Amino acid sequence: MERSRRFGDVYLAPTLWRGVGLEELCERLLPPGQERISWAKMAAVLVAARFCEPSSELHIAEDWYRRTALCDLLQLGDEEVNKDRLYRGLDHLLVHKAALEAHLSQRCGELFAIQNDVLLYDVTSTYFEGQAEANPQARRGHSRDHRPDCKQVCIALVVTFDGFPLGYEVFAANTNDSRTLQTIVATMEARHGVVGRVWITDRAMASAKNLAWLRETGRRYIIGAPKSELKKFGAELAAAAGWRTVQAGVEVKLARHPETDEIVILCRSADRRSKERAMHDRFSERIAAALERLAARIARSKKHLDPAPINRQIGRLLQRNQRAAARFAIALEPDGCPAGVRLCVTCNDAFDDWAAISEGAYLLRSNIADWNDQQLWKAYIQLTQAEAAFRIQKDQLNVRPIWHQREDRVQAHILVCFLAFVMWKSLEMWQQRAGLGNSPRTILEELARIQSHDVVLPTTTHGQIRLRCVTHPDPAQAALLDRLGLVLPKRMRIAEQAAPPLAAIA
């Protein structure tokens, strides 16, 4: 046996690529020209690599592609895939971003009966390695990846109610989240239509300007509101009547916003209450212990102390523990002791009273009058699908860090990650319907153990016979393939003897 290569996972990738219609679409968008290798095939290589083993274009060309049987499946020799051709493939693919998104919205709606009338919207960031001086969007900003030392860009992603990606846009890193909303809404509606849309997003988008714009333009929405707005509804929170249990440990109540007459969904969660109470207690204990030590140090001092450094120390203490800072009233008062001052600390009873009411509570704002409280709350909770999409792209598809320095290459890198996520989500829905859970990585790792080999048979009269064979799946793999409805080929044609690409699998 010779030429052993990974087969199972790279067989699944082109299957998904064709299944969601991307092979046919790319062949139409990237028709053959004067190039020797079709750009549609290079796009398939880029996305398959991101789906199976996320890595750089250099790694794809020099290592990954040569270890897989993708060359046999695509009828594209190892020597035809190099980093320069992959980079140019990125450039050709990026031009068709809008067409790709529009196609995927329609095609995946047909495959999985996905409805895109309720859209979930969220923003994340991803950072660069290098200075990215050729990219005007690369800026410093709030880093969700805890890498404030690196430049970054913001990615605004829209997914359906089921978490299927519908589209995205890239913004400069110093763009406030709220300033992206109107651009995203207008862009997505231009591509996918306007009628019946419901937009769901978190409190980072809940600026007065955005809410006014959504109302004035007749768009329906459910948006999380800043916690500071809870104070406007203190009476409703404190009242025992009107609450309805929508899930174990979660209660909601509807009210009207006093300024805009919007529907306000007041929510309180037992788990969230326990978490916030524990946080308040922990920060309060830290502040109390630090103030006790500070008071003792002041009392022991044998010389006159300057109040300014002490006040700065108190300020830093409260800043580090700001969740409980309002609980304490702290003052340095003149005193006849050697230090000249003494520390006076009192507890603010109003803080404890409000904490007892507001711990575990949050509110949502909406202008949807024909949904009940349970429907509104459950729709907003689906926003976790957008957060899960970001986790998959970062942890499984390695959208970060970005090594490209040019703006167009960065945009193309994110597009390839988006297309790989479409395939990832398609596999997830496929395996869910087959009763195989919701972990595509487990499927890929299991199938990756299936390999292809060249079996070389020497003969006395006809030289060597070379057969390119696929290993027989073990019982677990066979059961997995059966549930997915996949049939692996037993043999493949060797590229040098190949018929046209569609006949590559014998």
- pLDDT tens for each residue of 414-444: 999 999 999 999 999 999 999 998 899 999 9
505 has a pLDDT exceeding 50: no
User: Closest Cα to residue 68, out of 467, 499, 416, 452?
Assistant: 452
Q: How far apart, in Å, do the first and last CA atoms of the chain sit?
A: 20
User: Tokens at residue 425, please?
Assistant: 């989500």
45 has a pLDDT exceeding 90: yes
Cα 366 to Cα 375: distance, rounded to the nearest angstrom: 12
Q: Exposed (0-12), middle (13-18) or buried (19+): which is 80, by Cβ within 10 Å?
A: middle
500 has a pLDDT exceeding 50: no
Cβ within 8 Å of residue 1, ≥6 positions away: 453, 454, 455, 456
Quote the pLDDT of residue 195: 58
Where residue 497 falls among pLDDT bands split at 50, 70, 90?
Answer: very low
- What's the angle, vertex CA 228, arms to CA 222 and CA 230, rounded to 5? 70
* Domain ranges (residues) in the chain: 2-97+428-448, 99-269+362-404, 273-357, 451-503
DSSP 190-254: HHH--TT-EEEE-GGG--HHHHHHHHHTT-EEEEE--GGGGGGGHHHHH--TT-EEEETTEEEEE
Q: Which run of H or of E encompasses 188?
A: helix 181-192
Where residue 115 falls among pLDDT bands split at 50, 70, 90?
Answer: low
User: Closest Cα to residue 141, out of 131, 133, 132, 151?
Assistant: 151
**From 232-236, 369-373, 497-501, the region with the lowest mean pLDDT:** 497-501
DSSP state of 159: E
User: Tokens at residue 474, please?
Assistant: 């073990």
Cα 286 to Cα 320: distance, rounded to the nearest angstrom: 10
Could you give the residue ranges of the DSSP H alpha helices within 328-486?
Answer: 349-358, 373-381, 384-395, 407-433, 440-448, 475-484
Helix orientation angle between 384-395 and 407-433, rounded to the nearest 10 degrees: 110
CB 454 within 8 A of CB 466: yes
Mean pLDDT along residues 62-76: 93
34 has a pLDDT exceeding 90: no
Where residue 501 falls among pLDDT bands split at 50, 70, 90?
Answer: very low
Cα 71 to Cα 498: distance, rounded to the nearest angstrom: 12
Share of the chain above pLDDT 70, in %: 96
DSSP state of 472: P
The larger pLDDT score, comparing residue 192 to residue 71, is at 71
326 has a pLDDT exceeding 50: yes
Q: Which long-range contacts (CB under 8 A, 24 or more apart) does 372-375 make?
A: 373/244, 373/246, 373/252, 373/253, 373/254, 373/265, 374/244, 374/246, 374/252
pLDDT digits (tens, 9 = 90+) for 83-109: 999 999 999 999 999 999 989 888 877
Mean confidence (pLDDT) of the chain: 90
Question: What sign does the CA torsion over 46, 51, 55, 61 have?
Answer: negative
pLDDT digits (tens, 9 = 90+) for 138-192: 999 989 899 989 999 999 999 988 888 889 999 999 999 999 999 999 988 888 7
Cα 119 to Cα 205: distance, rounded to the nearest angstrom: 14
Mean pLDDT along residues 295-300: 90
Mean pLDDT along residues 218-233: 91
Quote the pLDDT of residue 196: 63
- What's the angle, vertex CA 217, arms to CA 212 and CA 219, rounded to 5? 90
Quote the pLDDT of residue 113: 66
Cα 443 to Cα 475: distance, rounded to the nearest angstrom: 14
498 has a pLDDT exceeding 50: no
Q: Does a cis peptide bond (omega within 30 degrees of 0) precede residue 54?
A: no
User: Tokens at residue 222, please?
Assistant: 């459910």
* Class of CATH domain 99-269+362-404: alpha beta
